[in-house]
């Protein structure tokens, strides 16, 4: 039908899919940063509809044909085209296993659940969120069956975030990590604690934002291609390759939340803002995997942001922003304070050592929920029990 | 193919179109209130793409068939269905006249022009905006030819905002209005002017927002189904029937801009938030015409918002928000001050009398641009000349 090569026809269809995915991301961004409660139901419908459109395009038989044809000509493709083809094959093989109604339902329920979660979190009412979480767990259990797996249903879902990763591998890696981390936490708890009372003094949100924006800008986050918003759960999202936004939440009585949160998200964003122009707004412009993405965010947050050398440069600026709050705190005290290791209930506010334990606990719980060996109603108890360990 | 009645099949297609239009509105809202400069180009592509999708769906031959079939069964339809059918017929007949590439181009160019306009406005550099305006005028001139008209190309475009309205009618109505308004302005200018110096004192934006939100809420604007944002040009937009947002701009040295701007936009929004649940998120949920819409906004802005009785209720609240600024201003002085009539260059900040003249001048200029008797490059001169009159 067209004189174009299969890979070019494929790229053209993919660019429509990318456009729709970016549009869905705009809907998401707005939902989490600005949408009022009354608009949630129809927004969930909009998200479901756009997801359905994406799925229809992505699973069209012509896409499968084009991928097959392009694979036969793989030898003639350049390096970028070969990667586009690899991702196309993978996305297609996954997408065709999922019924459209399922894809739409996941999108709709995620939209509805998000708002309920934020409200339930603010009011500390797990029961309000429970039916939504049950629905999402059920949908994910179904997805695992649709996608298929050899050993664990969780493998099928894990693959979407970290290709090729399995429960078997994670159990081993996390098992070793857990042992080491628990020992480390215990030995730290056994010695005199550093002073960090000053982190919970009153820090006005607007001053926090100002300082956070300065640091984000300095480490390379490009505000002319992004925006720093506010949301209940901090995240980074790509509305296009030249519009990579980040959020944080400001706790006026806990400085580290936004301070390291912004550096963390800016780390994610640097990765996405840094794609070369040749792959902008293509399927390749979204990061290799969750693990690689977190390596960027946590590198900036911890390796850079909690280092002595970083604060040798920035502590005077922070003191300028909060002169009264930090009047009796010298650089070394501050540096040690922000590196306090102590168990906390909130992953995104956890220190460098216990953060890993949060990830492990979350993995263990998710794995059981998907396997069906833990019910959502028993989740708070299971989580609390693990958090005690 | 389906056991459903034609009108039901039609409504189902329309609900997809409404969903896509609402999605395009989310893209627009974000573009005008938050998008950074780097993201504009791809956002324009996203808008063009969604417009193209809408056009494809709206002009599908099956839509024409369904409309025809439903019209044959018009006697069996209920009142709402008959209106849905009327709008469907009208939208379809208009849409099929426009080529998809044209629809996409209008959407893309509007997206690109919007950002340039805001920047050029802030820097007072018409020349930066000129090429974009030329492109938009050219696209609108083409649209008029595609849509067709009997007398004036402008009629074809006018019809999209005020169905059935023509240049011939407007020339007469506006001609009479202009004569009366010019006389009225002259006779007002001939008498001693009221005092209004206090309106240009320093009014912090956050206090303006707070007061504006209170008034908007009191007149019935539902913030749980909306949001008040900031943009260079104030507007109201429906992201869904339960998410009707408004914007304003804050001039810290001219109180009326945001004060009456918010009441004006809230007036538009009350209309859209007030649709009965039976027509929510349908093609009927968007207001009858621009004229009817403006009747709502200007009723609230002028008839209510600039009335003595309104300020008998609210002036003490305003004084509480701005005690120093209004210390030497009593209610009557304030009331007369906000009803000052004096020529201004900015329509959305104009008083009740000269506002009409702004609309007339804009109409006259647009009409000439579309007729091709005025070039964009001569626009500033033409506008300045008319503003002198």
- The 10s digit of each residue's pLDDT in B185-220 is 999 989 998 999 999 999 999 999 999 999 999 999
Would you call A194 an interface residue with chain B, using a CB distance cutoff of 8 Å?
no
Q: Do A299 and A252 form a contact (C-beta atoms < 8 A)?
A: no
CB count in 10 Å sphere of residue B107:
25
Per the CB < 8 A criterion, the answer to whether B63 and B10 are in contact is: yes
Residue-wise pLDDT tens digits, A196-216: 999 999 999 999 999 999 999
Summarize pLDDT for A307-351 with one digit per residue, the tens: 999 999 999 999 999 999 999 999 999 999 999 988 787 887 888
Q: Which of residues 84-143 of B touch A (CB under 8 A)?
A: none
- Res A243: pLDDT: 98
Over residues B64-79, mean pLDDT = 96
**What is the spatial distance between Cα A35 and Cα B53, in angstroms, rounded to a whole number?**
25
A35 contact B CB<8A: yes
Contact between chains at B23 and A50 (C-beta distance less than 8 A): yes
Taking CA A371 as the corner, what is the angle to CA A369 and CA A376, rounded to the nearest 5 degrees? Answer: 20
Cα A49 off chain centre by: 23
Closest listed residue to residue B352, CA positions, set B292, B304, B293, B289 = B304
Whether residue A52 lies within 8 A of chain B, CB to CB, comes out as: no
Cβ-defined contact of A39 to B225 (cutoff 8 Å): yes
Of A34, A35, A225, the CB nearest to B39: A225
Task: Out of A26, A49, A227, name the one closest to residue B16 (CB).
Answer: A49
Q: How far apart are CA B361 and CA B368, in angstroms?
A: 11
Q: Using a CB-CB distance cutoff of 8 angstroms, which residues of chain B are in contact with residue A19?
A: 45-46, 49
Compute CA distances A370 → A47, A103, A162, A359, A376, whole Å. 24, 17, 17, 16, 10
Q: Do B242 and A38 lie within an 8 Å CB cutoff?
A: yes
Q: Do the Cβ atoms of A36 and B243 come within 8 Å?
A: yes
Burial of A276 (0-12, 13-18, 19+ CB in 10 A): exposed
Burial of B304 (0-12, 13-18, 19+ CB in 10 A): middle
Measured CA to CA, the distance from residue B42 to residue A30 in angstroms comes to 17
Show residues of chain B in contact with A226, CB under 8 Å.
Answer: 36, 38
Reading the block at residue B59, the tokens are 């002009």
Residue in B343, B238, B319 with CA at minimum distance from that of residue B286 = B238
Low-confidence ranges of chain A (pLDDT < 70): 1-2
Q: Is B49 on the interface with A (CB under 8 A)?
A: yes
* Residue B16 forms contact with A (CB below 8 Å): yes
What region does B4 belong to: left with phi over 0, alpha with psi -120 to 50, or beta? Answer: beta
**A26 contacts in chain B (CB < 8 Å):** 26-27, 30, 46
Under a CB-based contact definition with an 8 Å cutoff, are residues B306 and B350 in contact? no
In contact, A152 and A141? CB cutoff 8 Å: no
Q: Is B230 on the interface with A (CB under 8 A)?
A: no
pLDDT at B235: 97
A21 has a chain B CB within 8 A of its CB:
no
B18-29 pLDDT, tens digit each: 999 999 999 999
CB-closest option in B29, B43, B243 to A42 = B243
Confidence label for B350 from pLDDT (cuts 50, 70 and 90): confident
Residues 6 or more apart whose CB falls under 8 angstroms from that of B139 comprise: B102, B105, B106, B109
- Name A330's bridge partners: none
Asked if B227 reaches chain A (Cβ–Cβ under 8 Å), the answer is yes
Give B289-295's long-range contacts (Cβ < 8 A, gap of 24+).
Answer: B289/B161, B289/B162, B289/B163, B290/B161, B290/B162, B291/B162, B291/B165, B293/B268
How much is the average pLDDT of B90-114? 97
Residues A135-154: b if buried by 16+ CB within 10 A, e if exposed:
bbbebbbbbbeebebeebbb
Question: Going from the N-terminus, what domains does chain B have, and what CATH number goes with each?
Answer: 6-148 (no CATH), 167-388 (1.10.1370.30)
Question: Known catalytic residue: B265?
Answer: yes
- The catalytic residue among B32, B104, B265, B301 is B265
* Whether pLDDT at B1 is above 90: no
* Bridge partners of residue B243, in order along the sequence: B240
Take residue B111 and report the two structure tokens written for it: 């997206």
Contact A42 B225 (CB under 8 A): no
Question: CB–CB of A27 and B26 under 8 A?
Answer: yes
Nearest to B53 by CA among B98, B9, B100: B100
Q: What is the 3-state secondary structure (H, E, C) of chain B?
A: CCCCCHHHHHHHHHHHHHHHHHHHHHHHHHHHHCCCHHHHHHHHHHHHHHHHHHHHHHCCHHHHHHHHHHHHCHHHCCHHHHHHHHHHHHHHHHHCCCCHHHHHHHHHHHHHHHHHHHHHHHHCCHHHHHHHHHHHHHHHHHHHHHHCCCCCHHHHHHCCCCCCCCHHHHHHHHHHHHHHHHHHHHHHHCCCCCCCHHHHCCCCHHHHHHHHHHHHHHCCCCHHHCCEEECCCCCEEEEECCEEEEEECCCCCCCHHHHHHHHHHHHHHHHHHCCCHHHCCCCCCCCCCHHHHHHHHHHHHHHHCCCHHHHHHHHHHHHHHCCCCCCCCCHHHHHHHCCCCCCCCCHHHCCHHHHHHHHHHHHHHHHHHHHCCCCHHHHHHHHHHHHHC
Nearest partner of B283 among B2, B20, B5, B3, judged by Cα: B20
Contact A192, A242 (CB under 8 A): no
Q: What is the pLDDT of residue A1?
A: 47
Residue among B29, B39, B46 minimizing CB distance to A23: B46
Euclidean distance between CA atoms A326 and A338, whole angstroms: 13
Residue A33: C-alpha distances to residues A138, A232, A244, B167 (Å):
27, 8, 14, 44
* CA-based nearest distance B253→chain A, Å: 23
């Amino acid at each position: 039908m067209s004189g174009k090569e299969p890979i070019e026809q494929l790229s053209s269809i993919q660019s429509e899919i990318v456009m729709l995915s970016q549009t869905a991301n705009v809907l998401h961004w707005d939902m989490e940063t600005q949408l009022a409660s009354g608009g949630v139901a129809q927004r969930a419908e909009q998200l479901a509809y756009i997801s359905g459109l994406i799925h229809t395009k992505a699973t069209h038989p012509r896409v499968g044909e084009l991928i097959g044809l392009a694979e036969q000509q793989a030898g003639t493709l350049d390096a970028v085209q070969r990667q586009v083809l690899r991702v196309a094959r993978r996305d297609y093989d996954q997408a065709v296993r999922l019924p459209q109604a399922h894809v739409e339902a996941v999108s709709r329920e995620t939209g509805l659940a998000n708002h309920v979660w934020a409200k339930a979190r603010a009011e500390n009412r797990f029961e309000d969120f429970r039916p939504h979480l049950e629905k999402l767990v059920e949908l994910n259990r179904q997805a695992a069956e649709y996608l298929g797996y050899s050993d664990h249903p969780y493998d099928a879902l894990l693959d979407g975030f970290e290709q090729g990763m399995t429960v078997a591998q994670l159990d081993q890696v996390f098992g070793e990590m857990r042992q080491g981390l628990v020992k480390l936490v215990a030995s730290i708890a056994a010695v005199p604690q550093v002073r960090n009372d000053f982190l919970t003094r009153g820090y006005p949100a607007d001053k926090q934002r100002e300082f956070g924006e300065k640091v984000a800008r300095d480490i390379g986050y490009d505000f002319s291609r992004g925006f720093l918003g506010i949301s209940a759960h901090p995240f980074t999202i790509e509305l296009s390759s030249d519009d990579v936004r980040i959020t944080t939440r400001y706790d006026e009585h806990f400085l580290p939340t936004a301070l390291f949160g912004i550096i963390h998200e800016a780390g994610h964003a640097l990765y996405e803002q840094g794609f070369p122009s040749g792959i902008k707004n293509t399927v390749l412009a979204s990061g290799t995997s969750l693990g690689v993405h977190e390596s960027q965010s946590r590198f900036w947050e911890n390796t850079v942001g909690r280092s002595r050398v970083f604060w040798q440069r920035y502590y005077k600026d922070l003191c300028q922003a909060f002169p009264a709050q930090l009047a009796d705190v010298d650089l070394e005290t501050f540096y040690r304070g922000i590196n306090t290791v102590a168990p906390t209930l909130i992953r995104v506010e956890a220190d460098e050592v216990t953060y890993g334990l949060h990830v492990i606990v979350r993995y263990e719980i998710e794995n059981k929920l998907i396997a069906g060996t833990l019910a959502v109603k028993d989740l708070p108890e299971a989580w609390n029990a693990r958090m005690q360990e």
